[in-house]
Amino acid sequence: MKFYKYQGTGNDFILLDNRAGNLQLTTAQIAGMCHRRFGVGADGLMLLEQVDGYDFRMVYYNSDGSESTMCGNGGRCITAFAALLGVIGDKARFLAVDGEHTATIHLDGTISLHMSDVVNIEFNEDFTVLDTGSPHYVEFVEDVVNIDVYSEGYEIRNQDEYQPAGINVNFVQIVGDTQLLVRTYERGVEDETLSCGTGVTAAAIAATGDTTGIFLTEIETPGGVLQVSFTKDTPTSAKNVVLIGPAEFVYAGEFASRDIEISLN
């Protein structure tokens, strides 16, 4: 089986062409393919599928093999993959688990991806919870470099109130009016990743607090820089949300066998 490896600001993915609809992978097979020692190694795996009325459907799995919610870095990578396959030109209109997305590939290779509208942003004293296609907990900190993202993220991700679905956890340092540093513990990877697209989107929106207006924020992650633009008509909602950043084809290969099965429990 042929696979393609992509990365967007260091969030890396295995892409499979399932337009024929004949791929049926088990959780253990996906976890095996994403395993960094027994498999190719990736934070997630995506299937590109055919669907009526759209250029393609994006089906997203975390590296533990669980089918998950929206992935922002993945959405840009699957758009680049669709272009490589000749499914689209420089524009895409595709379906993901959270609904329709449109994307544009720019001349420099960066991709703008329209994300879902955000509603019911929950501001708490020390943290903000919001869903940008995936659920996110955002905590503002003074010095993000010295945060133990694994330990603190693990503890919050496993708090009773977020079960059974769990939550992604972002630690955010404000470095300027429109500049943030973000590190994320990702549910389903169960570790810090180099970047999370829905996470930086959540961080940018959370950072605006109870203000309204049109915003453009630059976010630095350990894997690179992303931009998020959005409009807030009310303090607790955001629309016209666009995530902008790179999506790079790394290499293609052939799985020697489909029997790489890993149980992560």
Binding site for ligand LBFN2T5F (CB under 6 A): 11, 62, 68-69, 71-74, 134, 168, 186-189, 196-198
Q: Distance between CA 22 and CA 44 in Å, rounded?
A: 20
The least distance separating ligand LBFN2T5F from the CB of residue 132, rounded to whole angstroms, comes to: 8
Strands 213-221 and 224-232: antiparallel
Q: Which is nearer to ligand LBFN2T5F, 17 or 186 (CB)?
A: 186
The least distance separating ligand LBFN2T5F from the CB of residue 188, rounded to whole angstroms, comes to: 4
Closest to 155 (Cα-Cα) out of 165, 169, 174, 141: 169
Are the C-beta atoms of residues 43 and 13 closer than 8 Å to each other? yes
Binding residues for substrate: 11, 62, 72-73, 168, 186-187, 197-198
Q: Which is nearer to ligand LBFN2T5F, 212 or 242 (CB)?
A: 242
CA dihedral 75, 78, 79, 82 (to 10 degrees): -160
Using omega within 30 degrees of 0 as the cis cutoff, is the peptide bond preceding 164 cis?
yes
Could you confirm whether 71 is annotated as catalytic?
yes
Residues with Cβ within 8 Å of residue 89, at least 6 apart in sequence: 83
Could you confirm whether 196 is annotated as catalytic?
yes
Paired with 57 in beta bridges are 49, 95
Catalytically annotated residue among 33, 42, 196, 207: 196
The least distance separating ligand LBFN2T5F from the CB of residue 82, rounded to whole angstroms, comes to: 17
Q: Which is nearer to ligand LBFN2T5F, 43 or 261 (CB)?
A: 43
Q: Which is nearer to ligand LBFN2T5F, 174 or 190 (CB)?
A: 190
Residues with Cβ within 8 Å of residue 37, at least 6 apart in sequence: none
Tokens matching residue 254:
């052939």
The least distance separating ligand LBFN2T5F from the CB of residue 197, rounded to whole angstroms, comes to: 3
Catalytically annotated residue among 31, 34, 70, 71: 71
- Active-site positions read 71, 196
